[in-house]
Amino acid sequence: DTGVSQDPRHKITKRGQNVTFRCDPISEHNRLYWYRQTLGQGPEFLTYFQNEAQLEKSRLLSDRFSAERPKGSFSTLEIQRTEQGDSAMYLCASSWRGSGNTIYFGEGSWLTVV
40 binds another protein (CB under 8 A): yes
Nearer to another protein, 84 or 101 (CB): 101
Looking at 21-29, 36-44, 66-74, 76-84, which segment touches another protein (CB under 8 A)?
Answer: 36-44
2 binds another protein per the rule CB under 8 A: no
Report the SS3 class of residue 1. Answer: coil
CB 87 within 8 A of CB 24: no
How far is residue 15's CA from residue 97's CA, in Å, rounded to a whole number?
A: 39
Query: Does 23 engage in binding with another protein (CB under 8 A)?
Result: no
Sign of the dihedral defined by the CA atoms of residues 7, 8, 9, 14, in that order: negative
Among 19, 43, 77, 111, the residue binding another protein under the rule CB under 8 A is 43
Q: Residue 38 carries which DSSP code?
A: -
**Size of site (CB under 8 A) for another protein:** 24
Residue 68 CA to residue 49 CA, distance in Å, equals: 9
Q: Is 74 in the site for another protein (CB under 8 A)?
A: no
Binding site for another protein (CB under 8 A): 4, 6, 33, 40-45, 48, 55-56, 91, 93, 100-108, 110
